[in-house]
Structure 1
Amino acid sequence: MDINGASAIVTGGASGIGAAAARQLAARGAHVVVADLQVERGQALAEEIGGVFAHVDVTRTDDITAAVEQAVRLAPLRAVVNSAGIGFAQRTIGRDGQLESAHSLEAFTKVIAINLIGTFDAVRQTATAMSGNEPDADGCRGAIVNLASVAAFDGQIGQASYSASKGGVVGMTLPVARDLAAAGIRLNTVAPGLIDTPIYGEGPESEAFKAKLGESVLFPRRLGTPDELASMVLECLTNSYMNGEVVRVDGGIRMPPK
């Protein structure tokens, strides 16, 4: 699928994997809407790549609607990357046997709302816009890539909410791809492993911590880069025969319990 001259939306596009995907989309000639809560970073990236910034909280349906409208004004919307998400770690029960120490239900709900429901809302809205596009030679009107995580398959201790949210993204991949097939829209999911993003901080201590984490990767024994993930995202968007698939990009890691 050719994305040159089309518009694209990247949620969570201001940093990390989302920013790398936004840059690679722009390099392919797409008009990119960087959709994020981080205003300064988002605006700076949009200016860098010749795109536009949209202030989007994916738990707010109206924010997503506005970003879709902004993209459609630029050009037909043919590519979407849903990378907005948060992490949270807490054991299901506390060590003291008290309910007050158990996993916060509010936190669990928030993670699901952002990572899973926000992703689905973005899918249904962007796919609706894509359904009005003129099809290409393969009959394709657009493509969507959702970001999950290897935690969907081998979540660690304390990752109940995060794994549940990303497992939901994985679980809806095939049924949603089947739903969208009638409109000529493809949907795939990419599940990253340990990726070197700002979440790990900066400085010597951070670098030492990341190096230690990298030892658990099968090969190469290091953290992945955002560009390596974005490369797979772009492949899923542009390869016309990629559909309904979940692809792990993780250096072969299988996460231990902790």
Structure 2
Amino acid sequence: MILDGKAFVITGGLGSIGSATASIIVEKGGYAVLFDILPEETAKAKIQAFDQPEKYFYSKTDITNKEIMEASLTSILQQIPKGSLFGAVHCAAVNPNKPWTSKMSDKLEDFETVLKVNAYGTFLVDALVADAINSQYPPLDVFHERVTEERGVIVNLSSVVGHTPPARCLTYGPSKTCVLGITEAAADFLAPSGIRVNSIAPALVVSPLMASGDRMKYFQDAVEGYSMFPRRFTTPPEIAMAIIFLLENSMMNAFHLKVDAGWRQITSWANGIDPRKSVVVE
């Protein structure tokens, strides 16, 4: 699949992974449709500093609100070249950043939040983007017809802690496990429409979120002790290049790609120290 001339919605598009992915899409001749929570003027000022800013489109939106997302997509379809919408890279997510307590039930509020954004938000984005792609073609009876041409591709951002959720990712991990299930179910549902769906699972990524508080310090020992090679945090461009692979390779479908240097997210009790104790954790 060739990216040239194709438009992709990128949620969290002005974040570290989203913007890195957008820049590669634009370099390859595509259009980057950035969905984020920044005010329009702030976002457009940032975009003006990018190479080929005319190939970027922006909409302030809420990935948990169906009506707002539909309005954003309707507006974007009128701005991008006719028939060019080809998919999405869904990066937007939240991760709690609160101290531990000894009660698991204290995490219930966090769990409700991450399920709303990371799980429900993923389902909503996949569904509405797929509907927007299909709106560019004559109606299809998906129960009786199957197209033969490729019409789109969606990449959801999961996490290695979604594959094997450890204690230190008590709520975030299971919310990303939901992303894996949504990806496989959506891939099967959208197959008749010629739309592929994959997920990508980074390990620990250098980002403003990771740099906040003591997060990087908290996970540094885990990276040093349990990564195979290289033993370091991943950079956004490394994740973006893997996303581009999933977009371009038409045989990749219902696939979960880990980009983690072989990290095994083990909760180690070495020296009898509770690894969950830290100034800042999940």
Give the TM interval when normalised to the shorter protein.
Answer: 0.7 to 0.9
Q: Alignment partner for residue 127 of structure 1, among 111, 115, 130?
A: 130
Q: 1:28 & 1:108 partners in 2: Cα distance?
A: 39
SS at match of 1:172: helix
> Which residue of the partner structure matches residue 94 of structure 2?
86
CA 4–70 in structure 1, closer or farther in 2 if over 3 Å, else same: farther
> Which residue of the partner structure matches residue 174 of structure 1?
184
SS at match of 1:236: helix
Map 1:55-70 onto structure 2 (within 5 A).
Answer: 55-70=60-75
Say if 2:40 is the partner of 1:32: no
Q: Is the 8 A contact 1:144 1:188 kept in 2?
A: yes
Q: 1:59 & 1:65 partners in 2: Cα distance?
A: 11
- TM-score, normalised with respect to structure 1: 0.87
Q: 1:208 offset after TM fit, Å?
A: 6.6
Q: 1:70 & 1:81 partners in 2: Cα distance?
A: 18
Q: Is the 8 A contact 1:11 1:36 kept in 2?
A: yes
| CA deviation profile, 1:170-227 (whole Å, cap 9, x unmatched) | 112222101000000011000110111111338xx88877765542421011111100
| CA deviation profile, 1:14-47 (whole Å, cap 9, x unmatched) | 1111111111111111221111113366334433
> Which residue of the partner structure matches residue 144 of structure 1?
154
Q: Alignment partner for residue 236 of structure 2, among 213, 226, 243?
A: 226
SS at match of 1:59: coil
Bigger radius of gyration, 1 or 2?
A: 2
- TM-score, normalised with respect to structure 2: 0.80
Q: 1:57 & 1:31 partners in 2: Cα distance?
A: 21
Q: How many residues in Structure 1 have an aligned counterpart in Structure 2?
A: 251
Structure 1: gaps (5+ residues): none
Q: 2:117 & 2:216 partners in 1: Cα distance?
A: 29
Q: 1:22 & 1:220 partners in 2: Cα distance?
A: 26
Q: 1:115 & 1:240 partners in 2: Cα distance?
A: 26
Q: 1:138 offset after TM fit, Å?
A: 5.9
> Which residue of the partner structure matches residue 15 of structure 2?
15
Q: Is the 8 A contact 1:213 1:222 kept in 2?
A: no
Say if 2:255 is the partner of 1:254: no
- Residue identity in the other structure for 2:24: Q
Q: 2:164 & 2:216 partners in 1: Cα distance?
A: 25
